[in-house]
Every structure is written in structure tokens, then in C-alpha cells.
Structure 1
Amino acid sequence: MKERLEALRDEALRELAEAADPARLNDLRVKYLGKKGALTEILRGMGSLSAEERPVVGQIANEVRGAIEQTIEEKQRLFQEQETERRLKAETIDVTLPGRKLPTGAIHPLTRVAREIEDVFLGMGYTIAEGPEVETDFFNFEALNLPKDHPARDMQDSFYITDEILLRTQTSPVQIRAMQAMNGQTPLKIICPGKVYRRDDDDATHSFQFNQVEGLVVDKNIRMSDLKGTLLTFARAMFGPQARIRLRPSFFPFTEPSVEVDVTCVQCGGDGCRMCKHTGWLEILGAGMVHPRVLEYGGYDPNEVSGFAFGLGIERVALLKYGVDDIRSFYLNDMRFLRQFARM
């Protein structure tokens, strides 16, 4: 048996030395050291040996196993080093090559305009208030002096979910909620940005969903001149220090008196051009003094306090600011259009 073990060792070491790849090396490991391998077969015959021979043969068997395992480990290490060297040569990176510039995103023009508007009013001491987009009929209409049978409801064709629940048609409900939360305390000075929904025609100047910013100030001795000064400051911050505004009488159920506010044309500076239809003015927002009944719904005594409110569409400001003639351009995700604003 001693001779068989020595012959097995010599044969195994010779074949291992000739192994040219990991697969062949693994086959030889199974052939000689596996459960059905040659060494295991020889060791099964140790039961027939005498007590004196078993320790001697066992020691030789361990030496043979150790020699074979050591050779296998050395060959595995050699194959690993060769594979590492091959991969290093094949996957070499030329660090002197110029890098590839990855495309970067940019702020959407509507988001940019919304943030500019917010910054202007935050700089004037306003805070931002938010409210639900799914609103009750009470907050969206009745608390704003628009009872069930009021004809002005036809001005805002609405998306109703139930008879009393609808998608808000304006951010004015946030103003009522903010007033009620104050419990009659003053001053209140907020802007309410957010999405609103109306069943308008989908054309170049209208969309069934758009973004709005409304403002509200409630305090003692608030006057129309305060409103005009605020809106003039806003117009000059958005359209340049040369901008002027004018107030035209109008009607809104929640303000009295009410005005439409125009700004000097951003393209011609008021001289008259195609964009402003040669009038020199562009309509930008609606505003007015808060109606006494709306103050009452908000928890204020109209004999003690007064206030003004205004509302503007973010898309409308963006159209004027950037000279865009179709509101739908902001929603089409056309990269040719959007990339223009990434450079601003």
C-alpha cells in the first residue's frame, strides 16, 4: 500500500504540473481527493492492515494528501495571478482621455417663475400658506361671497367630485382657512401658491390645470394705496425697474372695489407693439379690497379691520416675462423649448 500511495503522489503531481487551466485543475482535484477519488479508494483498504502498519501508512497518506493539496493551491494562485494580469491589460483605462460631460437638468421655467414670485413677496414680509387641492364648496365658493345661486359661479366652470366636493378653482380657499386659523388676530400677510383646476378650453392661453399665486393682507387701516404700492413693487421686481402698472375698475365677488391690473408691455416698454396690440399695456392680475362678507367668514369684524387681496397666474407671468405665445409649450416636455431656460 505504501508503494501505491507513493505512485499515486508522483502521478498526481505530474498531472497537476501539466494542468493548463482552472477547469482541468478542478477535475484533477476531484480525481485524486474527491469522495470517490483515487486516494480515498486506497485508504478504504487500510482495514486489512495490521496494527503496526496502519500508523505508518496513515502518515504516508497524510503526506501524499498534503503534497497534492499544496500543489493545487499553488496552481490556483498562479491561475488567479494570470487572470488578474490579463484583465489589467484588457481593461486598461487611459486616464489622459478627456472626460465625457453628462447632461444636467435645469429648473422648469414655471418653477423658476414661481420661486421668483415667492422671493419677491417673502422679501416684503409675507409668509407662504398652503391648502388642499380637493376642496369643499363652502371654502371654494360660499365663504368667498359666492352662494349656490350666484351667477359669477358660471365664470369658473368647475370639476365637481360630489355636490359638495370639487377640485379648487382658485387658491382663495387657503385665504379663508388662514383667516379662520388666526382667530381674529392681525396682522395677516400671506401668499398662497398652488395648482388650480377649471374646465377652460385647451388653447394657446388656457389650460384645465394651471398654477396660481394669491396674496392676502388683513390689518387695521389697510387702504387701496397699500395694494397699489405692493403691486408696483412686485411688477418692478419681476419686469424691471422701468415697469409701471395701471388699475382698471372690474368685478370680483370676493373684493369690493375690484380692479384689473395691467403692466407696461415687456417687449415695447409701453410704446405699443404687436404683443400688446399697440396699447402699451398687458393684463397681469386681478385684485381689490377684501369684501366685508369675506372678512366675516374669515372670523374678522369688517368694522375693525380691512384688507386687500390679489391673484395672478404663474403661467401668465411666464408668458409675459419670456415672450412665449402658447401656454401649452410649458407642458409638452419639448427639450428644444426647455433648454432655452437652462441657460438663464
Structure 2
Amino acid sequence: MTTLPTELETQLQSLEQSAQAAIAEAATLDELEQLRVGYLGKKGQLSKVLGGMGRLPAAERPHIGALANTTKTALQTALEEKKATLQTAAIAAQLADEALDVTMPGVFVSQGRIHPINSIIDQIVDIFVGLGYTVAQGPEVETDYYNFEALNFLPDHPARDMQDTLYLTDGQLMRTHTSNVQIRYMKAHEPPMRVVAVGRCYRRDTVDATHAAVFHQIEFFAVDKNLTFSDLKGTIKVFLEALFGEIPVRFRPSFFPFTEPSAEVDVQWQGQWLEILGCGMIDPNVLQAVGYDPEVYSGFAAGLGVERLAMVQNKIDDIRRLYSSDLRFLRQF
């Protein structure tokens, strides 16, 4: 009888012993995976030993096959047990490295506060959303058409001088109001509509206690059938009462190229009247510019100076304090 079965048995026993020893010494999961592939992979050592079974008599193959399965099962079990051990050790090491020493003093991180400008913007938007208005935005870098022409500012009209701004080399400009959003929104939507727009604006203003060259503005406008100045006045009254409570308010006749009739709205501040917004009925020329029939639709619009409203609400005496980043000032809010 051939001695091949004895040789294969010896090889299998030797393979299992060497594999068990290597598995026991493995220090990482990567090493363990390399051992699994080296011993049990398709091209591993077990497969090489079993390659000699083809030279065995048919009657002896089942015995060697059973012995090979036993060896394979033993190695798989050893690999799984070692893997579980290494994983547990890795988790324990991570927990030890990331442990929090609760006896150490904590690092103080001061709590931030909402800036007065952002705070009042949120309040105003919430009021108008509650009135059924949609929030819209537009670009700060604008074309002459959307900032002036479509709003009925004729090229040589003196009203343009009142909104002198920063002009760019490509002919565009930094918008002087959020009314550009009004034009863009109306061109893209059909009435009825009620919209509130928020954003930063730029004008060549002399900086003083109530003026800044860069400021924030909120514009709200509505277009529908049969809207009147009474609807505008009522909306402004409801808005100001929601924001300030009972406060003296007055409407003064004024002029804006894009509204007719127009008015300025003032409130009491520091014992005097402070202009906080301009308003009026949307000029028919503006409605025609966006493709609306002024014989069918009417609308109103108003622009609010956010900084001035923040000054009234928080009793701030100088608009420049809002931009100073002085913590002694900001910590009051």
C-alpha cells in the first residue's frame, strides 16, 4: 500500500500546528487577515496540501478529505476567536485613549449672541411670513436695468443722484435698494403675490449717526386686483405695532420714481421723528415693465431701513455702533 495517506496526514497535522501558533501570535487584525488568506485562501497552504489527493486511491480519499475539513474548521474557529479578542482589545485601547478625565477643569466657551441687525431681520421676516408673504432674494451686484431702468428711473433723472453707488468696470453696479428683487420676482411670477425681500445695499452716503454707505434693507410688496393705498397703510400699521407695540407714526408725502403716490414713514426716536421707510403704490410704468396690465392690477411696495429699526427697538443713539464690533456694546443684546 502507498505511503501517501500518511504523508498527507502528517502535512495536515503540521499545517494545523503552525497555523494555530501563528494565529495565537497575531497582534493586529491586518496580520490575522493575512494569515487567513495564507492558510485558507484559494491559493493557501491547505489548498496546496489537498492538491496531492489526486494521487490517492479512491478508497482513501474520503479519509483525507474528512481530515482536511476538520483542519479547516479548527483553523476557522481559531481565526474567529482571535479576531474577537483583537477587536475587544482595540475598543478597549480606543476608550482608554479617548477617556475624559472628569476631574479636570473644563474649557469655558462663551455663548454667542444674535447681532441686533440679524435679530430684527428675523423678527420682521417672521411678521410678514405670518401675514402670508413669501421670502425672496436677489443679487447684490446688479445691472442698471433691474436697479434703475425697470423701476422708472430715467437715465438723466435727478432721483439717480440720490442713490449714487459703486459702479463696476463691466457696467454693473452695487444695488442701491432691494427693489431689484421686486422686478426680478414680478417678471418670473404672475399676480396675485405678496413678497418680502431682505439684503444688503450700497449708496454713497455721508456716514453719520443715522446714515451708512453699506446698510440692510427689507422690501415688501404686493400685487393684486383692487389694492389701494389704504391696504398699504394698514399693512404698515399692523407691521409696526407687531414690532414696536404702540408707537407714534406719521406718513409724509414724498417722491419715488417707482411709486405713485409715495410717502415717507417716520416714528418717534430720541425725542424726534426718524424716517424708517419709504412706501407707495407701484407706478403703472413699473407694472408695464414686467408685463402686467395696470388697468387690471395694482400694487404697493415699501422699503425698510433695518439698522434704523434696530436703533428704535433697542434705543441705540448712533448707527455706527452696530458696525463697531465692540463687545461692551454687543453684550447688551
- Matched residue type, 2:179: S
1:186-210 per-position Cα deviation (integer Å, ceiling 9, x unaligned) = 1111011000011111222211111
Which consecutive unaligned segments of at least 5 residues does structure 2 have?
1-95
What pairs with 1:1-344 in structure 2 (closer than 5 Å)?
95=103, 101-162=108-169, 164-182=171-189, 185-240=190-245, 242-263=246-267, 265=268, 275-277=270-272, 281-341=273-333
Percent identity of the aligned residues?
55
* Pairwise CA distance, 1:164: 3.1
How many angstroms apart in 2 are the aligned matches of 1:282 and 1:136?
Answer: 31
Question: SS of the counterpart of 2:331?
Answer: helix
Residue 230 of structure 1 aligns to a residue whose secondary structure is helix
1:233, 1:276 → 2: CA distance? 23
Superimposed CA distance per residue, residues 56-101 of structure 1 (whole angstroms, 9 cap, x where no aligned partner)? xxxxxxxxxxxxxxxxxxxxxxxxxxxxxxx9xxx99563x77564
CA distance in 1, matches of 2:277, 2:203: 17
TM-score (norm 2): 0.67
Match of 2:332, SS state, is helix
Deviations 1:203-226 (A, max 9, x none): 222111110001110000000110
**In 1, Cα distance between equivalents of 2:248 and 2:320:** 28
Match of residue 56 from structure 2: none
Q: Number of aligned pairs? A: 238
Q: 1:312 to 1:123 in 2, by over 3 A?
A: same
TM (norm. structure 1) is: 0.65
Give the whole-Å Cα distance in 1 for the aligned partners of 2:193 and 2:177: 19
* In structure 2, distance between residues paired with 1:110 and 1:139: 26
Give the number of the structure whose alpha-carbon radius of gyration is greater: 1
The Cα of 1:295 is off from its aligned counterpart by 0.7
Question: Alignment RMSD, CA only?
Answer: 2.2
Q: Distance in 2 between matches of 1:324 and 1:181?
A: 39
Measure the CA separation in 2 of the matches of 1:134 and 1:284. Answer: 24
C-alpha displacement of 1:162: 3.4
Any conservation in 2 of the 1:197–1:209 contact (CA below 8 Å)?
yes
Which ranges of structure 1 fall in alignment gaps of 5 or more residues?
1-86, 267-274
Q: Deviations over 1:309-336 (max 9, x none)?
A: 0001100100111111111111111111
Q: What letter is aligned with 2:276? A: I
